[in-house]
């Protein structure tokens, strides 16, 4: 085959494979690069807030995916509804690559660019599914920050599109690539805690807010575009010593505490810990049969499952919610306790979080270690690596990444069901095969949502 007949995919595959060998031989910063600059995958970033890179928000903080993501590909285009963030992000990318990326307010310019291989989605939650679906249909591989969706119905649509297009999609539930979490899964699979009975997810509670007044959106923020698929509503803002934005609002960062745009802690930390619990329980192809909101506290009144006060944060601040599976296994989601996941079996318990893995079965590994290769087997028979490189390796091999859309959809469905039960204040039944709420039309109506005219997902 002549070099002229090579497709960009062929070039990308060969350069990634060679670069992978370099990573084995050389652990320097340079080893994260690729053989030829022109062969590096080209990335378009949609959403440039703090999850993409905190510095793009004007905060000189360490958080964000982009500083690591860029080791494996070059950002060549950026999109955000906030022009000030686009400007900051453009400067950051130029400092990395030496080239100014193209800058857009409309994400479709990135999807229409045939030179872009990968789309990195870091928008607020209510935009994730629409952009991911349209990116896959445009022939792009996708890295989407968690949670993948705002509703269960969106999850089914993302899964269907991924099957139809064959694109590679990784969800940003990076705990799946954390060694202690993989170790917990490997220990469970090896029977080190006996038959698994229950997983308790301690995810923390959501904050409250003072009354947030109506305000005029700043000139650099396209509020209509920021809202996108969700109903038009007033912009609200109150300056104060609160979080990275030093404010309370319906917008940047604080969107997490409004059901209109997110699921609160149930889909913020829940997307991480319930995902690991679902993986550990081996329930990644099914779901619970009932979800019971044993205790839930909201900061505003609700009527028919909808918040009635538009001026304050409205997601659950405290909760104890139990999801029961057909075989009797259970996932418990709590706001209290030490952040992490507790797995309980007939022979012992394991507690795991981002800082540690503890329990008697863990201590016993000193005298009775796991078999060689057990962690790699738990990690879909791949070499252990960071979450971003796992995605790029999957894109080259055209294989499912560690955090695939299908298993994430199942775990996130439990989170969404918990949110529906919490808002309605009653136990709901779920048919995991049909993916429908049983005998409760009002609850079933909340499995999806109405999309604002003009922002429907494009075929």
Q: CA 20 from chain center: how many Å?
A: 26
Residue with tokens 């440039």: 48
**Nearest-CA neighbor of 298 among 284, 287, 309?**
309
d(CA 265, CA 208): 12
d(CA 273, CA 63): 19
Helix 405-424 × helix 270-280 angle, to 10°: 120
Strands of 253-396, DSSP E: 290-297, 302-303, 306-307, 318-324, 330-334, 340-345, 349-352, 357-358
Beta strand pairing status for 74-79 and 102-104? parallel
In this structure, are residues 236 and 311 in contact, taking their beta carbons and an 8 Å threshold?
Answer: yes
Half-sphere CA count of 122, side-chain side, radius 13 A: 28
For residue 303, give every residue at least 6 positions away whose Cβ sits within 8 Å of its Cβ, in sequence order, or none.
none
- The pTM (predicted TM-score) of the whole model is 0.93
In this structure, are residues 296 and 427 in contact, taking their beta carbons and an 8 Å threshold?
Answer: no
3-state secondary structure of 53: helix
Residue with tokens 């085959």: 1
Residue-level pLDDT at 60: 86
For residue 343, give every residue at least 6 positions away whose Cβ sits within 8 Å of its Cβ, in sequence order, or none.
184, 188, 193, 196, 198, 199, 277, 280, 349, 350, 351, 352
In this structure, are residues 44 and 113 in contact, taking their beta carbons and an 8 Å threshold?
Answer: yes
Residue-level pLDDT at 138: 98
d(CA 113, CA 116): 6
d(CA 403, CA 172): 7
3-state secondary structure of 287: coil
Mean pLDDT, contiguous 10-residue spans, the chain (459 residues) = 38 46 31 51 97 94 94 97 98 97 98 97 98 98 98 98 98 98 98 98 98 98 98 98 96 98 98 98 98 98 97 98 98 98 98 98 98 98 96 96 98 98 98 98 97 92
In this structure, are residues 264 and 419 in contact, taking their beta carbons and an 8 Å threshold?
Answer: yes
Beta strand pairing status for 428-431 and 436-438? antiparallel
Instruction: Calculate ∠ Cα 392-70-43, nearest 5°.
Output: 70
Rounded to the nearest 5°, which phi and psi values hold at 338? -70, 130
**Domains parsed from the chain with CATH numbers:** 3-174+390-397 (3.40.50.720), 179-379+405-447 (3.30.360.10)
Q: CA 305 from chain center: how many Å?
A: 25
Using omega within 30 degrees of 0 as the cis cutoff, is the peptide bond preceding 408 cis?
Answer: no
3-state secondary structure of 43: strand
Residue-level pLDDT at 62: 86
In DSSP terms, 341 is beta-bridged to 201, 352
d(CA 420, CA 440): 11
């Amino acid at each position: 085959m002549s070099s002229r007949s090579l497709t960009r995919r062929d070039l990308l595959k060969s350069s990634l494979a060679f670069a992978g060998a370099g990573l084995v031989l050389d652990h320097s910063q340079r080893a994260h690069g690729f053989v030829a600059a022109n062969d590096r995958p080209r990335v378009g970033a949609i959403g440039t807030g703090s999850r993409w890179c905190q510095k793009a928000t004007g905060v000189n903080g360490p958080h964000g995916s982009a500083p690591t993501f860029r080791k494996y590909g070059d950002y060549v285009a950026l999109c955000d509804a906030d022009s000030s963030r686009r400007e900051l992000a453009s400067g950051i990318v130029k400092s990395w690559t030496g080239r100014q990326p193209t800058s857009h307010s409309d994400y479709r310019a990135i999807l229409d660019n045939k030179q872009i291989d990968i789309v990195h989605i870091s928008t607020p939650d209510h935009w994730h599914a629409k952009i991911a679906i349209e990116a896959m249909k445009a022939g792009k591989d996708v890295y989407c920050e968690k949670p993948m969706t705002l509703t269960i119905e969106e999850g089914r649509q993302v899964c269907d599109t991924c099957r139809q297009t064959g694109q590679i999609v990784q969800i940003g539930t990076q705990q799946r690539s954390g060694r202690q979490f993989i170790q917990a899964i490997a220990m469970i699979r090896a029977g080190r805690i006996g038959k698994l009975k229950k997983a308790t997810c301690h995810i923390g509670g959501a904050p409250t807010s003072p009354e947030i007044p109506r305000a005029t959106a700043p000139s650099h923020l396209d509020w209509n575009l920021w809202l996108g698929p969700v109903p038009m509503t007033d912009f609200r803002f109150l300056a104060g010593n609160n979080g990275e934005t030093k404010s309370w609002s319906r917008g940047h960062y604080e969107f997490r505490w409004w059901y209109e745009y997110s699921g609160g802690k149930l889909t913020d930390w829940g997307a991480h810990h319930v995902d690991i619990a679902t993986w550990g329980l081996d329930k990644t192809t099914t779901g619970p049969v009932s979800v019971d909101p044993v205790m839930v506290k909201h900061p505003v009144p609700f009527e028919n499952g909808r918040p009635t006060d538009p001026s304050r944060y409205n997601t659950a601040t405290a909760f104890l919610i139990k999801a029961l599976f057909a075989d009797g296994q259970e996932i418990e989601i709590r706001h209290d306790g030490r952040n992490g996941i507790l797995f309980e079996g007939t022979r012992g318990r394991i507690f795991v979080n981002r800082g540690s893995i503890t329990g008697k079965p863990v201590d016993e590994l000193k005298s009775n270690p796991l078999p060689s290769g057990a962690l790699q087997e738990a990690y879909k028979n791949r070499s252990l690596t960071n979450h971003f490189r796992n995605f790029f390796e999957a894109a080259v091999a055209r294989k499912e990444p560690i955090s695939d859309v299908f298993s994430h959809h199942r775990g996130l469905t439990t989170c969404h069901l918990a949110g529906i039960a919490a808002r309605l204040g009653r136990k709901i039944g779920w048919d995991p095969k049909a993916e429908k709420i049983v005998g409760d039309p009002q609850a079933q109506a909340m499995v999806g949502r109405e999309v604002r005219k003009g922002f429907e997902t494009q075929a």
